[in-house]
Amino acid sequence: MNLRLRISQIRKSHNGDRVLDDCSFFFEQGGVYVLTGPNGSGKSTLLRICALLERPDSGEIAYFLGQERLEDNIFLRRRVTLVLPQVGIFNTSVFNNISYGLRVRGAGRSEIEQKTAEMLAFSGLTQKRGQNAPSLSSGEKQRMGIARGLVIEPEMLFLDEPTASIDETNTRLIEEMILEKKKQGITMIITTHDRAQAERLADKLLMIRDKKLVSVPA
């Protein structure tokens, strides 16, 4: 596991308005990068671009394995995952939601059972395995979303506001999940409005200021 991401001179406009201008950064393997910035400053846009879900107008997204530059293809896309707040919850059980990524990748039954059970335990949702996902509380939904992103064992995980409108208990649980995965060497790029949370989690603090990505001294 040694996936690194370099973004160079990223520019992006939405409807003619420049959102990101000349954003450059090198995300090294391992550790937690936390991105803050006011509403509408382009955090989610930058995350989608990094996760290869949206193209910049100009600039370059380059993933590296060691020194080797990777092509943008399905193998690379399997290594990176973006988790959005409470988006795309399927109207089926928690188990089926979490195992979704394994099923679309054609995993076998026992692998699906084992890895999903692991993620249910990791997210504290073992008791909720058979519950219909839309009926979960918002904190549980958020934990489920992270479990669903992690089940395919990505090397880079992007979390867009993982604790927005979540109570203290669930926020703590989610922060524990993040710190546990960090120990396993996954690189994470997380957006948050919670400055105290940013300081708790971040190895490196980043901010979008005047459309540019800047490093904030700890």
Give the binding site for ligand ATP (CB under 6 A).
14-15, 19, 37, 39-45
Give the residue with the Cβ less far from Mg ion, 153 or 194.
194
Cβ–Cβ < 8 Å for 90, 46 = no
12 binds, among ligand ATP, Mg ion, none (CB under 5 to 8 A by kind): none
Residue with tokens 């803050």: 36
Residues forming a β-bridge with 68 = 65
Give the residue with the Cβ less far from ligand ATP, 15 or 110.
15
The residue from 30, 36, 42, 44 that contacts Mg ion (CB under 5 A) is: 44
The nearest distance, CB 97 to ligand ATP, in angstroms, is 23
The nearest distance, CB 28 to Mg ion, in angstroms, is 24
* H helical segments located in the chain: 43-50, 74-77, 94-104, 109-122, 138-150, 168-183, 195-201
| Residue 211, amino acid | K
Contact call for residue 36 and Mg ion (CB under 5 A): no
DSSP 134: G
Q: Which residues bind Mg ion (CB under 5 A)?
A: 43-44
